[in-house]
Structure 1
Amino acid sequence: MTAPTPLSDAEWPGGIADMLPGFAGRLDIYRVMAHHPALLRAWSDLRQHVVVDTALGAEFSEVVILRTGLRHGSDYEWGHHVSRARKLGMEEARIASIKGPLDAMSEADAVLAGAVDELLEASRLSRARQADLEALVGRAGMFDLMATVGFYTVLAFIANTAELPLDANILAELEKTPAP
């Protein structure tokens, strides 16, 4: 059996044709997910919240996504979110620090990355980490962090299972300016 591949426009399921011009048609990860149209349709609202409407804010969200992608060994998620972090103006040293130990990060990034680590190691946040997160991003931010880790864990599972290479535009960008 071969790994699922991104569906082309010609292969795109009719029941989700309205999703092709939007987020689902822009990234190969969603073109792979389109093999299961009902899942992709259901995914849409959660994606809107986790990716766009998160209480974490754009930069803190990227820290969480990068650490999650790293911890899952997902080159696809890491590469795509290095690109996104750069577009947000995050410095290369900050992006690179997310790969390392918590004590090499800024205090805020260490709180966020430490939360990712705890969730992936123990499937829970310690009371101390909850307190640190609430002080940093509020209770809604803490819940959005957990949702983001779960969301990007699923995407890492899909990307890794599909052995999905970087989308061509991200690959070209990272060949020009390699990821830290």
Structure 2
Amino acid sequence: MSSDGANPSAASAPPLSDADWPRDLADMRNGFAGGLNVYRTMAHHPALLRAWSGLREHIVNQSALGREFLEVVILRTGTRLGSDYEWAQHILRARACGLSDARITSIGGPLGAMQEADATLCRAVDELFATARLSPGTLAAVSKDHGREAVFDLMATVGFYSTLGYILNSFDTPLDTDVEAALTEKPLAP
């Protein structure tokens, strides 16, 4: 124990290896949970990771925003959190959805430099971070462009990825080696 009474090992939560994977999560190791360092870090709390899986399935695979705009929301959330892990991870996912590097880069910058559809979603993310609510104008714009369910999914996505960002930033979770290699091979073009 340290002199202040804290247990330094309790503050550490590196991604768990297969050898250290919790028995009660054995069924999740070969799925999404074992595939990314963020979930290997979260596996230090098996009950949370198991509970997380249903919401993750909805947000990642069933969002009313659709894949392209979901990535816009996630990238902006990662930017607002200062989460290098989320930003890097989602560069690859955004590219896979057809977003150009210029568009991805714009999402990390001022709203005026973005496509209008992206700016509307990024304004919503910014408002959630700044005021914990959407302004009537932004709420109406997102609902008009994407539908009422997408408004809920946007808010849930910001909350979901904020929680991941808190975990990643607090425990200094390292970027996954495959993502790091892919970005080294093809860095984000300015």
Aligned to 1:112: 121
Deviation readout 1:33-77 (Å, 9 max, x if unpaired): 000000000000000000100000001000000000011000000
5+ residue gaps in structure 2?
A: 1-7
Q: Secondary structure at the match of 2:12?
A: coil
User: Contact conserved, 1:55 with 1:140, CA < 8 A, in 2?
Assistant: yes
**Partner residue of 2:15?**
6
Query: Residue 62 in 1 paired to residue 39 in 2?
Result: no
Aligned-residue sequence identity (percent) comes to 57
Unaligned runs of 5+ in 1: none
- Larger RCO (CA under 8 A, 6+ residues apart): 1
1:132 and 2:135 aligned: no
Judge conservation of contact 1:79–1:179 (CA < 8 Å) in 2.
no
Aligned counterpart for 1:50 among listed residues 45, 59, 63: 59
Give 1:146's match in structure 2, choosing from 123, 140, 155. Answer: 155
Runs of 4+ in 1 over 2 A off after TM superposition: none
- Name the TM-score, length of structure 2 as normaliser: 0.93
Match of 1:102 among 97, 105, 111: 111
The answer to whether structure 1 residue 39 and structure 2 residue 48 are counterparts is yes
| Aligned-pair Cα RMSD in Å | 0.8
* Alignment partner of 2:27 out of 18, 23, 35: 18
How many residues are aligned here? 180
- 1:123-148: CA deviation from partner (whole Å, max 9, x where unpaired): 00011110000011100000000000
